[in-house]
Amino acid sequence: MKKIQRVPLADYPYDIVFSIGNACGCAWYLKRCKLRLCAGPLDWVRGAETLEERVAIIANRFPDWLLPENLSPFESDGARFITTDKKCGIRFVHDFRCAIPFPEELALAQAKYARRQTRFFDLVGQAQHALLVWFNCLVPPASEETHRRALAQLRGALGNQVDLLSIEHDATLAMGKSHVVSMGSGLFRFRLNMDKSGSGTPQDYIFGDNPKAIKAILSRVRLRPDLAKRVRQHEWAFRVGRRLRFLLACFVPSRRLRQKIRQKRY
């Protein structure tokens, strides 16, 4: 295995990059590395934590998502309400706040994910080169054969323009070490030890304990120049808008309205 070198991941830039999980960390890193052009259908969700499960959901085009009869009773961690779609195994951790009647909140969530799914298939279908990113420090790393099957399944469902980047935690490597496992033919696979405690499991099981190494890998992904510029402009507008919202909230007497104005959007 070779050490990661700061060279472009592929010979071509990408028209779109999407996270496919397996938790919130993947979309978070894409956003921080200015690679996230828009929200995807597998952003900010958990569950179905293996590569095979996530790929099957995409290949089957997100069947029967968020049907009320498939949802588990709400769990609460004190700040949010979490439900699991028992049919596909996806856990929705940021979509339900129980602030309005459940049928209304469910309809809003269903509409949001329907938009994201349509956007996903449209943008990937229109792209000359599309990259799907798998980031995993929750379950044991998948084998080379599993990755090859996953890429073949994705290309069968979405087209041969799709590449797969996999970044996985491997406790057998020395702490802080990053290695290339395989490259080429549309599959870019990296393993690294994301644990800093020595226990074999990252203390932060969503983001891993080694963000610098993960960002170094993602820095090798190139967007089309016009799209990279659009992401930078969007990030600037988002930060300015957020500061303005917080400033505006200071002059609002209603506490509930202040919280709504400041509320983080996923």
Residue-wise pLDDT tens digits, 159-205: 999 999 999 999 999 876 777 877 889 999 999 999 988 888 999 99
Please state, in angstroms and rounded to a whole number, the distance separating the CA atoms of residues 194 and 179.
Answer: 12
User: How is 1-63 classified by DSSP, letter by letter?
Assistant: -EE--SS-SSSS-BSEEEE--SSHHHHHHHHHTT---S--TTTTEEE--SHHHHHHHHHTTST
pLDDT recorded at residue 243: 72
Among candidate residues 260, 141, 158, 248, the one with its CA nearest the CA of residue 193: 141
Mark the ranges of the chain whose per-residue pLDDT is less than 70: 1-6, 176, 234, 236-242, 245, 251, 258-266
pTM strictly above 0.85 = yes
Please state, in angstroms and rounded to a whole number, the distance separating the CA atoms of residues 155 and 12.
Answer: 18
pLDDT recorded at residue 45: 96
pLDDT recorded at residue 252: 72
pLDDT recorded at residue 237: 61
pLDDT recorded at residue 61: 97
pLDDT recorded at residue 266: 37
Number of alpha carbons in the 13 Å side-chain half-sphere of residue 46: 14
* In contact, 21 and 54? CB cutoff 8 Å: yes
pLDDT recorded at residue 258: 65
pLDDT recorded at residue 242: 65
